[in-house]
A and B are shown apart, each in its own frame.
Chain A
Amino acid sequence: MNETFIVSGVNIMDRGAETAPHQTLEDERRWTALCYVLGELDPAACAAWEARLAEDEECCNAVAEATRLALTLQQARPVAPVALTVPAATRPAERSVSTSRSGAGAAIAALLAAAACVVVLVQSPRPSAEDEQNVRLVALWRQHVVPSVATSADLDDDLALPGSEDRIPAWLLAAVSLEERQRTTGEAQEVWEEN
C-alpha cells in the first residue's frame, strides 16, 4: 500500500504517541477499510481507497470484514455504562463549579423564575393594534348604532314567526326610532349652537 490515507489531516498509518507493533500489509488494509467504513477518511483518501476497491479483491474483503466488525461492535454495547475519562484540562473548572454550588443554585433559581415570567408573558393575550381598533368599533356600534344588541335567539324567534319576512320586528323599530331620535336631537343641537 503506497498511498497515504488521511483522517482529519493525520496520516492514519503514522504512529502516535503510543507505538503500535509491527504492522503487516493485512493490518494496514484492515485499518484503512475500517476508517473507510466509519466514514473517517478524507475525500481524497476515500477516492483513492475506492479506486483500489474497484480492482483489488483483498481490499473488498477487508471492507466486508470491517463492516461486520463495526456492526458487531455497535451491537456489543456494554450493558453497564462505561465510565469515560474526564479530560484533564476540564477538571479544575469542574472543581470550581462544584465548590460554588450554592451560588450556582441561586443562579439556576433566578433563571427558572425569569423563564416562568417569560412563559406567563408569552401565554397572556396581548391585544394587537388591530384588536384594539375592533374593540373600539364594537363599542361605538353598541353605543350609537344599536342601543341593545339582540341575541341570536331573539333573531331566530323573530324570523321564525309566520309572515315575519313582511313584518318589521319590534326590536328593530325601537332601534331605528331611537337612532333617528338621537340623530334629530343631534342635528337640532348643532343648528341651535350655530344660531
Chain B
Amino acid sequence: MTGTTEEQGANASPVTGDVAVRLSSQEVERLYDEYGQELHAFLLGVTRNADLAQEALQSTFQRVLERGHTARSETVRGWLFRVAFHEAMAVRRKRQGQHQVLERYAGSGLPRLVQTTEDDLVQQETVTRLRELLGKLPADQREIVERRMHRDQTFAEIAAELNLPLGTVLTRMRLATQRLQRWLKPNE
C-alpha cells in the first residue's frame, strides 16, 4: 500500500505504535491470529474460490511483511482489508488470464474457512444453532433460504418456479437472513 493517508513516514508499527523498520515475525503472527480468519472469509467472498482465497491471503501477509510497518496502528484493519482486496483482484486477474473458471459459491466445491480444531467446534455449534433458527423462520422465508442455499437455485429461478415476483423472493431472503444474523448476534 503506497501513497495513502494510512501510511506514516515515520514507519510506526501497527502493533506497538513505535517507530520501526519492518514488522517482526511475532508481530506478523499476531496480526494473522487477529485478522487472518476475517480476511480469509472476505477473500472467499471476493474470489468465490478456495484456492484463490488462500493464494490472496498468503500474498496479503507477504505485503504485511514488506510494508506492514507503514500502516497506522489504529487503522491497520482497514489497511489489511484494502491490501487483501487488491491481492484478490490480482490473483483473480491472473487466473482469468489462464482461462480458468471460478467456482460458483453455492456449488458442490464449497470453500471452507481455514480453521483449527477449536474453531471447528465453535463452527459446529454455530451450524447447530443456525439449523435450529432456520426451523423458526416463517415457512415462506425458510423455503427461499432452502432453495437458494441448499439447492443452488438462483433468485430468478426460485421466482420462476414459485410463480412469485422476483422482488418478493428477494424480500423474503433478505428478511430471513436479517433474522438469522440478529439471532446469531443478539448483542448487536
Contacting A16 at CB < 8 Å: which of B89, B126, B171?
B171
User: B146-188 interface mask toward A, CB cutoff 8 Å, 1 = contact, 0 = none?
Assistant: 1111100011100001111111111110110110110010000
Any B CB within 8 A of the CB of A157: no
Do A18 and B171 contact each other (CB < 8 Å), given the known contacts A57-B78, A76-B134? Answer: yes
Q: A9-B166, A54-B85 are in contact. List 10 more A-B contacts (CB 8 A).
A: A7-B155, A14-B170, A16-B166, A17-B165, A31-B178, A50-B85, A64-B42, A67-B45, A82-B143, A84-B147
Any B CB within 8 A of the CB of A77: yes
Task: Write the chain B residue with the least CB distance to A11.
Answer: B167
Chain A residues within 8 Å of B86, by CB: 54
Task: Write the chain B residue with the least CB distance to A79.
Answer: B131
Chain A residues within 8 Å of B39, by CB: 64
Task: Write the chain A residue with the least CB distance to B77.
Answer: A57
Any A CB within 8 A of the CB of B91: no
A31–B177 CB distance below 8 A? yes
Contacting A55 at CB < 8 Å: which of B48, B82, B175?
B82
* A: contact size bracket: 35 or more
Chain B residues within 8 Å of A38, by CB: 105-106, 148
Any B CB within 8 A of the CB of A69: yes
B105 vs chain A, min Cβ distance (A): 6
Any A CB within 8 A of the CB of B65: no
Chain A residues within 8 Å of B113, by CB: 68, 71
Do A16 and B168 contact each other (CB < 8 Å), given the known contacts A61-B81, A72-B130, A76-B127? Answer: yes
Chain B residues within 8 Å of A20, by CB: 171, 174-175
A53–B167 CB distance below 8 A? no
B146–A60 CB distance below 8 A? no
Interface residues of B in 29-68 (CB under 8 A from A): 38-39, 41-42, 44-46, 48
Contacting A27 at CB < 8 Å: which of B38, B142, B143, B178?
B178
Do A63 and B146 contact each other (CB < 8 Å), given the known contacts A31-B174, A69-B181, A78-B131? Answer: no
Give bound CA distance, A186 to B162, whole Å.
86
Which one of A85-93, A113-121, A129-137 is at the B interface?
Answer: A85-93
Chain B residues within 8 Å of A76, by CB: 127-128, 130-131, 134
Task: Write the chain A residue with the least CB distance to B75.
Answer: A57
User: A22-41 interface mask toward B, CB cutoff 8 Å, 1 = contact, 0 = none?
Assistant: 00000100110110111110
A17–B45 CB distance below 8 A? no
Of the candidates B41, B111, B162, B164, the one having the most CB atoms from chain A within 10 angstroms of its own CB is: B41
